[in-house]
Structure 1
């Protein structure tokens, strides 16, 4: 099958060559990105060339898609469909990689410009920059001093609370001991009173027994006479 730019096979071969060249150009860009010559004009020229090749590949894919659809034999048509889809996917992958590279390149250029601007300001007004640094250092020193004071106050507060807690526990222990002593004293007084009552009862029983014994003896003697 032929199109405006050649047969399907010829266009496919041209697309594959452009893919190889684009892939090689992208690899060169990535090597330049981390080399000492990064940021030179050669990167921009190479990036433009790779983008141009990828655009041409995608145009060839459109042409090949038109051609494979006109293939009459289904097996050949399916085969060309897969080949064209593979070329299109590789081209899209290369375009995505190039876009990522361009974003990184733009970021590097922006950061370089910002650094140059900051250096220019520093060289033009170094006293102002030094004054800012000095103020920041003083503020940082004040913050650290305040933090130390807070830590000391917190430690003192914890020590006071610990002391109060210890005194409270000692007071509780003394209170319990006092209650135990009072309870013991109360029980002892009750026992003593019970003993005294028992002694008095025993004495009455003793005296009553003695009296009954005397009466019994007098009665016995009287009845014998």
Structure 2
């Protein structure tokens, strides 16, 4: 720790340096608290020691400023010493508040640990119940997945059968078209054959009629 010098000015400068270091250390301590909730006992102890040193220096300065001959200088040093003492007291109050918060966190953590310790006897039962529920839920999910797969397979089979049915319908329609076409062709062939036979009969009848006419003409001319 820093020691004060022999003169009032030297002691004052030492106190100001300690105040600056104390303020910086307290800010770092609070940043640790708010960022991660971690305590730094070494830093807390160092700040408390610096504050004790500042208070000791303030006592020395309070004794020395009274011996200043000039009243104006004496009043000036009085205000300076009071400012240092007030700032040191303010920093000490902030450190005490930090210590109180830290102690409260430690108490709460200890109480939580005790509660967890008392509940530890029932924890195995709770965990077992949770495991059974998790297994039941997993079984339900597995059954649902199997059912979905079976449904998908059934839908695929039905879709395949539907496709085959449409294919058979198209084939049936083509077959009917072919049969209809064949039936029409047979009708046309029969009509042609019938016409051919009629033409034959007409030809033969014409030939016979011609022979008869020629015969009668020949008889008539004789």
Q: Into which bin does the TM-score normalised by the smaller protein fall?
A: 0.5 to 0.7
Q: Any idea what SS the aligned residue of 1:49 has?
A: helix
1:99 aligns with 2:96: yes
What do the CA deviations read for 1:103-133 (whole angstroms, capped 9, x no partner)? 0000001101111121122223337999xxx
Partner of 2:70: 73
DSSP 3-state at the match of 2:35: coil
Give the corresponding residue for 2:148: none
TM-superposed deviation, 1:5:
3.7
Size of the aligned set, in residue pairs, is 124
Are 2:37 and 1:34 aligned?
no
Q: Give the aligned partner of residue 20 of structure 2.
A: 20
Alignment of 1:56 with 2:60, yes or no, is: no
**Residue of structure 2 equivalent to 1:88:** 85
Kept in 2: contact 1:39–1:109 (CA 8 A): no
Aligned-partner SS, 1:35: helix
Q: Note closer, same or farther for the CA distance 1:56–1:129 as it changes in structure 2 (3 Å cut).
A: farther
Extract unaligned runs of 5+ from structure 1.
131-225
Kindly provide the CA deviation profile for residues 41-96 of structure 1, in whole angstroms up to 9, marking residues without a partner as x.
xx111111101101100100000011110000111111100000000000000011
Q: Is the 8 A contact 1:68 1:77 kept in 2?
A: yes
Higher RCO structure (Cα 8 Å, ≥6 apart): 1
Seen in structure 2, the aligned counterparts of structure 1 residues 122 and 25 have a Cα distance that, compared at 3 Å, is same
Matches for 1:54-203 after TM superposition, within 5 Å: 54-126=51-123
Whole-angstrom distance in 1 between the partners of 2:115 and 2:38: 19
Distance (Å, rounded) in 1 between the aligned partners of 2:50 and 2:112: 34
Largest Rg, 1 or 2: 2
Report the TM-score when normalising by structure 1: 0.52
Normalising by structure 2, report the TM-score.
0.52
Between the aligned partners of 2:126 and 2:59, the Cα distance in structure 1 is 59
Which residues of structure 2 form unaligned runs of 5+?
128-222
| Whole-angstrom distance in 1 between the partners of 2:6 and 2:47 | 23
